[in-house]
């Protein structure tokens, strides 16, 4: 009954997202492929950690320029943040409910991304901050209704924060602990490379979803500043409909924003700036670590008073997309044009943590197995927020599959293409690629009996009593258009279900002309680097617990 009900939800989501005319004749097989197993062993981890916020030895303040671009020196330090699992003190969601929630969340997200591409509203951009805004002694000049700029300076150290997996809450997403306001207070935000606006639920909260912990209260922070509707930064956000008239020369009237995720998820409130506080750790002589508090001022974010959606107890969202509002873009003037993360195995011990690093990671660049593929940008990408890559084909057991190349093409009207996304759990390939991939695995796996009573993921195989089963499963890799190849370990594309000792292919399908998505499950134990200056994506096999 659960499966039938879920299939009904699935058909509804896909029909809404892509339109009935996009569903192919073999849509039933695609629909089955897009579901996630209702089984406790998938993403079934328990964890114990709290936010890592130690007493600082020193305090330092940095200021963002209030925009995505910067003319300053790109010799920047790197900052490292830790991603950890959910605290064991929180009540986990029942396994069945957790997996259904994850499945619906993935499907909703696919619908969301597709609709945002089709909408393709042109984004207004700000002019770059002028160097003349900085005085001869390197201090910032005050400017009314203008974002401050950063003096040319270097900054050493690594930033230590906390990120965690949301699997115990029924979410396949990752959460980041941040400290907002003055004095700083702790909030947990969803990390999302598929959007750019940073936002948090604010009091008064007129229509808000349930979150863990209290709402952010701007009246309790001395560093909170509303952005005026006459401020040029207000043009970076979309106004609610109908727009509220902005009084000329008004400095007290706030800038309202509305951010829509393509389904029922949305946030509406006041566009503002605030201070984000993090921990900096600097290695001394390569051994001793020196801790200090770092306050990053003037971070643009949304103070949401009306918020709806499935956000799994988070207080809001931290955007890492390519748009000018994202946290990554706003930190470019401080740490350069690259960031990276390394996600540990979801079944790893709760004491190990995933990492998020802002700035150039020299250790990663020295990695002998680091490979790069181009990020598609500019006119080729219909939405400036997503990180598009160009797939040429897929390799199974050393064989490059005969998949029509136009399956992967990104059209000018926004159909197709492939994105890499931290907010989607599994990987999804558009028809006919998915069916060709599935057929290839079924033809090549001979040693294990096929299991037919796991209808959501397929194919599934019984590996009972075979500890070395991974050696007999076909290899899997992605071939990119520029010749780069991303090969994956078995545990990144096969899910083992306990205690039945069954393994299932963790690659699913979407209708023809839809997005293909490389999700976070397939990114585990790879150090992923986003370099927006040279428009390339780096990936290196890494034991992320050791980073």
Residues belonging to the active site? 192, 421
Q: How far is it, in rounded angstroms, from Cα 159 to Cα 60?
A: 12
Q: How far is it, in rounded angstroms, from Cα 308 to Cα 260?
A: 10
Backbone angles phi, psi at 522, to 5 degrees: -75, -15
Q: How far is it, in rounded angstroms, from Cα 297 to Cα 31?
A: 46
Tell me if 116 sits within 8 A of 17, measured CB to CB: no
Which residues are bridge partners to 174 per DSSP? 165
Cα dihedral across residues 240, 196, 215, 218: positive or negative:
negative
Q: How far is CA 443 from CA 356, 394, 397, 439, 491, in A?
A: 39, 15, 11, 6, 20
Tell me if 310 sits within 8 A of 105, measured CB to CB: yes
Tell me if 39 sits within 8 A of 95, measured CB to CB: yes
- Three-state secondary structure of 473-496: CCCEEEEECCCCEEEECHHHCEEE
Other CB atoms within a 10 A radius of the CB of residue 520 amount to: 26
Task: Give how far the C-alpha of residue 247 lies from the chain's centroid of Cα atoms, to the nearest Å.
Answer: 37
Q: How far is it, in rounded angstroms, from Cα 6 to Cα 28?
A: 13
3-state helix, strand, coil in the chain (%, to 5): 20, 30, 50
Map tokens 């229509």 to a residue.
Answer: 207
Q: Which two tokens stand for residue 540?
A: 């290196």
Nearest CA-CA partner of 383 in 415, 406, 409: 415
Which SS3 state, helix, strand or coil, does residue 31 take? helix
Which residues are bridge partners to 296 per DSSP? 62, 276
| DSSP output for 109-160 | HHHHHHHHHHH-PPPP-PPPPPGGGB-TTSPBPP-TTS-----S----SEEE
Tell me if 372 sits within 8 A of 389, measured CB to CB: no
């Amino acid at each position: 009954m659960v499966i039938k009900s879920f299939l009904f939800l699935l058909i509804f989501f896909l029909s809404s997202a892509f339109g009935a005319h996009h569903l192919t004749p073999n849509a039933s097989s695609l629909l089955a492929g897009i579901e996630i197993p209702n089984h406790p062993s998938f993403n079934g981890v328990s964890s114990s950690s709290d936010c890592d916020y130690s007493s600082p030895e020193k305090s330092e303040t940095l200021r963002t320029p209030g925009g995505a671009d910067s003319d300053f020196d790109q010799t920047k330090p790197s900052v490292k943040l830790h991603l950890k699992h959910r605290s064991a003190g929180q009540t986990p969601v029942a396994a069945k409910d957790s997996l259904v929630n994850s499945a619906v969340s993935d499907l909703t997200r696919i619908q969301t991304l597709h609709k945002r591409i089709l909408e393709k509203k042109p984004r207004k951009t700000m002019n770059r901050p002028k160097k003349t805004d900085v005085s001869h002694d390197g201090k910032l000049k005050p400017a009314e209704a203008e974002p401050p700029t950063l003096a040319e300076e270097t900054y050493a150290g690594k930033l230590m924060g906390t990120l965690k997996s949301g699997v115990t809450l029924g979410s396949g997403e990752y959460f980041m602990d941040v400290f907002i306001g003055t004095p700083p207070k702790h909030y947990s935000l969803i990390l999302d490379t598929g959007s750019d606006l940073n936002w948090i639920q604010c009091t008064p909260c007129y229509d808000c979803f349930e979150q863990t912990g209290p709402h952010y209260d701007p009246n309790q922070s001395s560093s909170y500043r509303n952005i005026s509707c006459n401020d040029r930064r207000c043009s970076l956000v979309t106004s609610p409909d109908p727009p509220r008239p902005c009084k000329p020369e008004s400095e007290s009237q706030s800038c309202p924003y509305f951010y829509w995720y393509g389904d029922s998820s949305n946030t509406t409130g006041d566009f503002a700036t605030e201070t984000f506080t993090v921990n900096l750790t600097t290695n001394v002589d390569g051994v001793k670590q020196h801790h200090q508090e770092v306050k990053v001022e003037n971070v643009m974010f949304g103070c949401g008073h009306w918020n709806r959606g499935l956000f799994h107890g988070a207080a809001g969202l931290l955007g890492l997309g390519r748009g000018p509002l994202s946290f990554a873009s706003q930190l470019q003037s401080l740490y350069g044009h690259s960031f990276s993360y390394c996600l540990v195995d979801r079944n790893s011990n709760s004491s190990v943590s995933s990492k998020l690093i802002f700035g150039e990671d020299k250790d990663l660049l020295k990695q002998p197995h680091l490979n790069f593929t181009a990020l598609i940008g500019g006119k080729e990408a219909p939405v400036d927020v997503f990180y598009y890559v160009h797939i040429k084909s897929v390799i199974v057991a050393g064989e490059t599959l005969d998949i029509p190349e136009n399956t992967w093409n990104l059209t000018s009207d926004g159909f197709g293409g492939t994105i890499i996304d931290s907010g989607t759990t599994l990987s999804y390939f558009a028809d006919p690629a998915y069916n060709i991939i599935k057929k290839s695995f079924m033809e090549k796996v001979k040693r294990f009996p096929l299991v037919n009573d796991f209808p959501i993921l397929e194919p599934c195989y019984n590996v009972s009593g075979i500890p070395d089963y991974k050696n007999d499963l076909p290899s899997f890799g992605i071939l990119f258009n520029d010749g780069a190849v991303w090969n994956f370990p078995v545990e990144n594309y096969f899910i083992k279900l306990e205690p039945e000792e069954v393994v299932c292919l963790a690659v699913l399908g979407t209708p023809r002309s839809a997005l293909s998505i490389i999700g976070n499950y397939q990114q585990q134990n790879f150090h992923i680097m986003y370099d927006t200056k040279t428009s390339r994506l780096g990936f290196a096999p890494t034991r992320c617990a050791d980073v």
